[in-house]
Chains A and B, each alone.
Chain A
C-alpha cells in the first residue's frame, strides 16, 4: 500500500495553485463558510471581554472600594461566556458540516474519475496507491477543513484581537509588546523550517520501515525456510535506527520550542511590570490596565504555540491534495466518440484489420494482425508468453486504443461503439477470477440489477456451478470472504463462468492460464462449463497449454506479436511450423516413460 511510498514524505506547506483549487470545492458552501468566518470574528472579540471586565472591576470598583457594579459585571461576564459557547459551537459544527460535504464530493469525484480511467492507467498505478488516494488522502484534507482551518483562523484572529485590545488600552506599552513579536515570529520561522526538515526525514524513514515490513511479513515463510531471520533483522535495524535518529531530531525541536515561549513570556511580563508598573506608580496607567496587559500577554503565546502544531497537518493536507489532483488530472485515454452508437443485435463477426498496437510508442506488441472470425466460430490463440495473446483480447474489449488499423464487430469499428455497450456484449473470463465480499448471487450478477435471480440460477446450472453453490451454507446467499478466501480456485472459476453465462454475451473471450494448478476433477467440471459458455457464441480462447485447447474450429498462432499460423489442427500439423513443434513436444512428454 502506498503509505510506504517515499514520495509521501515530501510535501509543501502552502501552494497557491493547489490551495485555490481546493477552495473551489468550497464554493457550493460559501454561505456556510462565510457565516462561520463571521462567527469567528465575533468569538475573537467576545473572548477579550472577560479580561476587560476584570480590568474595569479592579479600576472602577475594587480600588475605589466599591462593589455596587460587581453584580452587573458578573452578569455581563456570564453573558459573554454564553455567547462564546454558542458561537464557538455553531461555528465549529458548521465547518465540520462543510468538511464532511467536501469529503463526500471530493471522494465521489475521485472515485468516478477512477472508474472512467482506461486499463493502461491501472497498469501504471498499483492498487494500494489508488486506495490511499480515496481514503487516507481525502481524510487528511477533510480534517484540515473541518478542524484545522477553524483552529488556525481562530488563533490568528485571536492574536489580532489581542493586539487591537492592547493598543486600545495603552498604545505605548502595546508598542513595546508588539516589538517582541518581531523576534518571536523570526524564531518561529526558524523552528518551523528545522522542524519541517526533521519531519520529512521522519516520514521518509517510516515509509522505508513500512515497505520493508510489508516484505518481511509477506515473505516470512521464505525467511524462515532459508534461515535468514538474523540477516533480515539487520536490514530492518538499519531502517529502524534511521527512524529513531530522525525521531530524536524531531524531538529536539519540540523540546526546545516550549522553553523558548516560556522565556518570551517572562521577558514580556518583566517589561510590563517594569515599564507599566513605573507608569502605574505615577498614575499614568491604571493597575487594572497593567493587569489586563499581563493577562493578554499570557493568552498571546498560546495561539502561536498551537499554530506551529497545525503546521504538520497543513503540510500533510497539501501533499494529499497534490496527489489527489494528480489523479484527477489524468485524462481519460479511451473515450467514446461523440456519435458513439449501439447495435441492435450482435451476430459476433470479428475482424482485425491490420492492427498495430504498442503499450509504449515504438515498442510494438502486435504487428499487422489481420484476420476475420466469422460469427459462431471457436478460435484458440496459441503462442509463448509475451506473444501478445492477452493484449489481443484486451484490445477487443477496447481496454486500450489501437495505434493503427481497426477492429470491427459485425463490420462496425469498435471505436464507433459505446465502450460500455461493447463490453456488455463481449464476455471475458479473466485469468484471475475476481470475487467481491458479497453474496454468491451478487458475485454472479456483479450487482447489476438488470439480471434476475432466475437468470443467475440458470447460468449457474448451465456451467455446472449450481451443485457446489447449493452446498454452501446459505446457497446463493452465502457471503464470500475477502478475495473469496472461503472458496477454492476452481470454485471461483466456476462463479466467473456463471457470470459470463448470466451476462449472455455474443462474443466470449477466455483466458485459460489460471486453470494451471487445479486438480483434474474440478478441471473437468470447468472444461464442461466452458463448453457450455462457448456454445453458440463466437469464442476466442487463449490456451497456454495445448491440452486445454478443445473443440476449436481454428487455431491462430502468435509469435512476437505477429500472426504466423492460421488454420485447423490438422492443417497446422501438416504445415509443420511452430504449432506442430509445440504439439510434438507436448506429445513426447506424454509418451515418455
Chain B
C-alpha cells in the first residue's frame, strides 16, 4: 500500500477512536457534547509537549496524555451535573472555543505557531514507519471498540442507559446518576486522549486550528451518520467520512457542500444512522439473522 493510503488509514483510526469516545458520553450516557475536539486537543498537546520538552518516549507520553485528558474530561463531567440538555450542548461548544483560544493566545502552548518537530513514534529501539504506525492505530481502534462493547454490556453500560433514558427515574431507582456521568466523561477522556496523542505523533506538528469547532461537528457527524449509541456505527461513520473527501477529490470545489448535504439527507431519511437500530444495513442484516423468540 502506498504511504498515501496508509496515512488515510492511520487518520481513519484516529477518528474512529475519537468517535468511540463521543459515543461513550453521547451515545451511551446521553450527554450531548459538541466540544470533543477540545479533548482531542488536550491529548495531542499533552503528548506533544511531553515528548518535545521533557523527553518522554512514545508509550509513556501516550499514557500520560490519556490520564491528563481523562481528568480534564471528568471535570467537564462535573459541569454536566449542573448544566443539562441544550444548555450542556452550548457549554461544550464553549469549552471547545475556550480551549482553542487558550492554545492560540498563550506562549506556554506555542501560540499560533503550535508545537512542532514531535519525534517519530518509537517502541523500544524500533522507530515506527507509516505502515507500522497505521497498523498500531487500527489495532488500538479495534481495542477501543471491544472495550466499548464490553462497557455497553456491563453493569456500567446499563447504568449509562438508565441515565440516558430517564435520569430522574434512574435516580429514583437508586442508580448513582451523578457518579455515572462523571465516569462516562472520564472514560471518554481516556479515549479522546489516546486519539489526540496518536494524532499528534501522526501529524508531527500540532496547531490550535487542528482542533477547531468544525472538528467537533465532524466527529458528531461521524457518530450520527454511523449510528449513535452503537460501536459498529462509530467505526463505519468515522471510516465513511474519512474516506469521503478522498473519494470526492475530483469534486474538491464542492466537497463541503456535499458533506453538508450528506448530513442533511442521512439524518432526514435515516435518523438512526447507517448501522443504527432501524438503519438500512441493520435491517438487511437482520433478515439474515435467525430470529430470537420474542421476550
Q: Do they bind each other?
A: no
